[in-house]
Amino acid sequence: MFGLFAFSDLIGQLGDLHRTELLVGFSLVIGAVSLWLGVTAVTGSRRAATARPRGAASAIVLGGIGVVFSLLLLALFGLLSKEFSEYSRCMKGANTLTAQQECHDQLTRALHAETRSLRNHP
């Protein structure tokens, strides 16, 4: 969830790329810890032949989802780092709503161009 909030923060008003990357990295760590704790709780209960601890299955599911989304967002940042860096610079200098809208439009055009080039690349 931190990663998704960070991504919406990047596309929203602030546009701070470095902060977004840190939050997505943090969400990756938290998701991995959640996944690890859930798996170890389930395996420990199996070894001890006791009931599965409450929340272990949800920790595994939510941790797995968090890890997958964080990895996808980090891959997205890696592929589109130039576009997001330009957007971040644009938003830092945008003092009016018109300038912010122009930054959004510029990002949209850059993302469309990049996805077109990726689709056409063999």
Same domain, 71 and 13: yes
Same domain, 39 and 96: no
Q: Among candidates 14, 16, 23, which has minimal Cα distance to 73?
A: 23
Does the pTM surpass 0.75? The reply is no
Q: Which residue bears the tokens 């161009």?
A: 113
| Mean of the per-residue pLDDT values of the chain | 82
Same domain, 2 and 20: yes
* pLDDT bracket for residue 79 (50, 70, 90): confident
What domain count does the chain have? Answer: 2
Domain that holds residue 20: 1-79
| Residue 105 burial class via C-beta count within 10 angstroms: exposed 0-12, middle 13-18, buried 19 and up | exposed
Residue pair 35/59 in contact (Cβ under 8 Å)? The answer is yes
